[in-house]
Chain A
Amino acid sequence: MLTLDFAFLTPQVVSSYVLKGFAFSLQLTLVAMLGGIALGTVLALMRLSSKPWLALPAAGYVNTMRSIPLVMVILWFFLLIPLIIGRPLGAEMSAVITFTLFEAAYYSEIMRAGIQSIPKGQVAAGYALGMRYGQTMRLIVLPQAFRNMLPVLLTQTIILFQDTSLVYAIGAYDLLKGFEVAGKNFNRPVETYLVAAVLYFVICFSLSMLVRKLQQRIAIVR
């Protein structure tokens, strides 16, 4: 039976190994969330368009992304981006691009459901008031869709935060990698993996509790 010893995890060790990775994981989550929601909203509007040349490519993009394992998507982009731009790109930058484009597919499904949850009469009312398509969407439909879908969008963001650990496949330095390197250097992998798991759990569990609270508040106001 192995005895656990966490003494080596001094604040100094944590700040030199883990913090850098933690910062990257958070950064990756935030950028991919904002970029993914923006791009996802555009994709959702395209998919709901009556013009096939807009709807079909968007549907194809979303379905392709959703049917490939994320690890393979990460590997694909890591292979293809340098071929396209003609020079190598760091694992971190590659991860940011990958996650933004990948999550856009998932966010777009959420936004599509949100937009569809708004009664058709509201769009008709917007047009009847003389608003154009862009104005109807921007002023009437999207604000409500965002509001209705906020809990789901945030839950997807928690999943996104968990999924950032998969940048392991291309060796980017994220939170998990920080713990892994510390564990290797001090020959204490069991302890570092345990702490990593507890940290991920605390973050994700408290965020999902917050989302649940928010969901109740939104439900009452509506």
Chain B
Amino acid sequence: MNWDWQVFCKDTIDGEIVPRCFGGAGDVTYLDWLLSAWGWTLSVSLLALLVALAFGAIMGILRTTPNRGLVFLGNAWTELFRNIPLLVQIFLWYHVVPSLIPPLRGVPSFILVVLGLGLFTSARISEQVKAGIQSLPRGQRMAGLAMGFTLPQTYRYVLLPMAFRIVIPPLTSEAMNIVKNSAVAFAVSISELTLFALQAQEETARGIEVYLAVTGLYFISAFVLNRVFHFVESRVRVPGMIGGGH
């Protein structure tokens, strides 16, 4: 087969090859479109990651408290968001939630996808956070309470500083998963990489070049996130502690 990488220099409307590949002055090339799609993928992923970390941490913590009601809430949350396929959850946020809750009707689909992807991932993060807290020796909690700390203080000063360090490696892979899972946003017309791949493939008939570029960008995004998490992991490492340096 013949490669035709010039496809990215083509104008998206008239298909003319634009010199220097970038549009400008109203013209949009496939390269411009690809980069903007990458931007959407990154925005969806990073915002969803924030939502997932916040809710996942809270729910994971609740599941380790002595209060039965809170444990039930955390468990129910996790099972609910874990046992429905992500694509179905995205459709629920996009089609069902705005019709059942009228105030949400004007919310842009970008926000809905961020919520959908974020809450889906929060269930998985809550599992990791719970496991991280439970992996600490039980004596630590008892020691905290015996010192006169309240339960929130025990979590804040004794359990969580260690637990969060322990869960960084599994969170790294969840962060990379979020980038991959953000691909489902194409189903509700977010102009991200997968939607670009589908549409540009159809318009240009250069599927292999388009898919290679898109796959490469997913790869790079996940890899960069991986490096960032490793950087954080090494920065917060406590010497002499579990997995710590010397």
Chain A residues engaging chain B, CB cutoff 8 angstroms: 1-2, 67-72, 75-76, 79-80, 83, 162-163, 165-166, 168-169, 176, 189-190, 193-194, 196-197, 200-201, 204-205, 208
Cβ contacts under 8 Å, A76 to chain B: 211, 215
Partner of A200, one of B85, B197, B198, B207: B85
Cβ contacts under 8 Å, B203 to chain A: none
Distance between B225 CB and nearest chain A CB, rounded to angstroms: 12
Task: Give the residue among B102, B179, B211 with the most A Cβ atoms within 10 A.
Answer: B211
Cβ of B183 and Cβ of A69 under 8 Å apart?
yes
Find the A residue at minimum CB distance from B41: A69
Cβ of A67 and Cβ of B87 under 8 Å apart?
no
With A79-B201, A162-B86 already in contact, 13 other A-B pairs whose C-beta atoms are closer than 8 Å: A67-B218, A68-B180, A72-B211, A162-B83, A165-B85, A165-B88, A169-B198, A176-B88, A190-B100, A193-B91, A197-B88, A197-B96, A205-B79
A53 to B33, CA, bound (A): 41
Cβ of B102 and Cβ of A71 under 8 Å apart?
no
Q: Does residue B92 face the partner (Cβ distance < 8 Å to A)? A: yes
Cβ of B184 and Cβ of A166 under 8 Å apart?
yes
Find the A residue at minimum CB distance from B201: A79
Give the size category of B's interface with A.
35 or more
Cβ of B211 and Cβ of A200 under 8 Å apart?
no
A201 to B79, CA, bound (A): 9
Partner of B218, one of A72, A162, A205: A72
Cβ contacts under 8 Å, A193 to chain B: 88, 91-92, 95-96
Find the A residue at minimum CB distance from B173: A66
Q: A72-B197, A75-B211, A79-B207 are in contact. Are A197 and B89 (CB under 8 A)?
A: yes
Cβ contacts under 8 Å, B218 to chain A: 67-69, 72
Cβ contacts under 8 Å, B181 to chain A: 69
The 30 sampled A-B contact pairs (Cβ below 8 Å) are A2-B99, A68-B219, A69-B183, A69-B194, A70-B180, A70-B183, A71-B183, A71-B184, A71-B186, A71-B194, A72-B197, A75-B197, A79-B207, A80-B208, A162-B86, A163-B85, A165-B88, A168-B187, A169-B186, A169-B187, A169-B194, A176-B88, A189-B95, A190-B95, A190-B99, A193-B95, A197-B88, A197-B89, A200-B83, A201-B80
Chain B 190-219 against A: per-residue CB contact (8 Å), 1 yes, 0 no? Answer: 000010011001000001100100110011
Cβ contacts under 8 Å, B89 to chain A: 197
Cβ of B201 and Cβ of A69 under 8 Å apart?
no
Partner of B84, one of A80, A83, A197: A197
Distance between A81 CB and nearest chain B CB, rounded to angstroms: 12
Cβ contacts under 8 Å, B57 to chain A: none
